[in-house]
Amino acid sequence: MIYTFDDIVISGFSAVTAAGNGIEAVLELLRSGRDALSPVPDDVPGGNGQRWGKALGFKASDFMPPLKARKLDRCSQFAVGASGLALKDAGIDPKEIIPERIGIALGCGFGGVANSAEFLGGYFKGGVEGLAPVLFPNTVSNAPASNASIEHGLKGPNVTLVQRFCSAESAFVMACRFIAEGRADVMLTGGADDLTPLMITGFDATGQLRRYAACFGEGSGILVLESAAHAARRNAPVKATVETVAAIGLFPAGHERDGADRLFSGAEQCDLISLSGIVGDAPPLMERVGGRAVTDIAPVLGRSLAMGGTAMATLLASLKPGHQGLHLAASPEGPYYAIRFTGGATKASDPRDPGKV
Partner 1 sequence: MVKKRVVITGLGVFCGAGKNVAQFSGALLNGESGIGPLDLFDVSAFPARIGCQVKGYDPLDHFDRKTARKLSRADQFGLIAAREALADSGMAGHYSPFDMGVSMGGGAAGMFQSEQWLRSLLAGEKAAPVLLRGVLPDKTATEIARACNLAGYQGTVTTACSSSATAIGWGAELVATGQQRAVVAGGSDTLSLLTFGGFNSLKVVDPEPCSPFSLGRQGISLGEGAAFLVLEGEDDALARGARVYGAVLGYALAGEAYHMTAPEPTGSTAARVMGNAIAVAGIDSGRVGWVNAHGTGTPLNDVVESNAMKLVFGERAPSVPLISTKAMTGHCLGAAGAIEALATVIALNHRMIPQTLNFRGRDPECYLDYCHEGKRPCEAGIAMSNSFAFGGNITSLVLGL
Q: By CB under 8 A, what part of segment 226-285 binds partner 1?
A: 247-252, 255, 258-259, 262
* Binder of partner 1 out of 14, 17, 142, 241 (CB under 8 A): 142
Q: For the CB of residue 248, give the shortest distance to partner 1 in the complex, in Å.
A: 6
Q: For the CB of residue 340, give the shortest distance to partner 1 in the complex, in Å.
A: 16
* Binder of partner 1 out of 2, 214, 232, 286 (CB under 8 A): 2
First-last CA distance in the chain: 29
For residue 280, give the nearest of 329, 207, 325 by alpha carbon: 329
Q: For the CB of residue 51, give the shortest distance to partner 1 in the complex, in Å.
A: 22
Compute the residue count for the chain.
Answer: 357
* Binder of partner 1 out of 146, 244, 318, 324 (CB under 8 A): 146
69 vs 174, beta carbon nearer partner 1:
174
Cα–Cα separations (whole angstroms), residue 81 to 87, 108, 116, 152: 10, 15, 22, 10
Question: CB within 8 A of 122, min separation 6: which ones?
Answer: 130, 131, 132, 135
Alpha helices by DSSP H, the chain: 23-32, 66-71, 74-89, 113-126, 143-152, 167-180, 197-205, 228-233, 256-264, 283-289, 298-301, 308-318
131 vs 286, beta carbon nearer partner 1:
131
Alpha helices by DSSP H, 206-277: 228-233, 256-264
Q: Does residue 356 contact residue 304 with C-beta atoms inside 8 Å?
A: no
* Binder of partner 1 out of 9, 25, 82, 162 (CB under 8 A): 162
User: Per CB under 8 A, which region of 158-166, 213-221, 235-243, 273-281 contacts partner 1?
Assistant: 158-166
33 vs 182, beta carbon nearer partner 1:
182
* Beta carbons within 10 angstroms of residue 103's beta carbon: 26
* Binder of partner 1 out of 57, 137, 266, 280 (CB under 8 A): 137
> What are φ and ψ of residue 187, in 5° steps?
-130, 130
Cα–Cα separations (whole angstroms), residue 224 to 24, 94, 331: 16, 12, 25
* Binder of partner 1 out of 9, 30, 86, 161 (CB under 8 A): 161
98 binding partner 1? (CB under 8 A)? no
* Binder of partner 1 out of 66, 133, 290, 291 (CB under 8 A): 133
262 vs 356, beta carbon nearer partner 1:
262
110 vs 212, beta carbon nearer partner 1:
110
Beta-bridge partner residues of 10: 225, 240
28 vs 100, beta carbon nearer partner 1:
100
* Binder of partner 1 out of 51, 68, 88, 183 (CB under 8 A): 183
For residue 308, give the nearest of 146, 137, 107 by alpha carbon: 107
* Binder of partner 1 out of 150, 232, 286, 294 (CB under 8 A): 150
CA–CA separation, 223 and 319 (whole Å): 14
CA–CA separation, 236 and 165 (whole Å): 31
* Binder of partner 1 out of 41, 61, 123, 353 (CB under 8 A): 123
User: Per CB under 8 A, which region of 24-32, 152-160, 210-218, 229-237 contacts partner 1?
Assistant: 152-160
Instruction: Annotate each residue in 25-54 with x if it binds partner 1 (CB under 8 A) or - if it does not, as one string.
Output: ------------------------------
25 vs 246, beta carbon nearer partner 1:
246
Q: By CB under 8 A, what part of segment 191-230 binds partner 1?
A: 198, 201-202, 205-207
85 vs 113, beta carbon nearer partner 1:
113
161 vs 298, beta carbon nearer partner 1:
161
Cα–Cα separations (whole angstroms), residue 114 to 126, 281, 335: 18, 29, 25
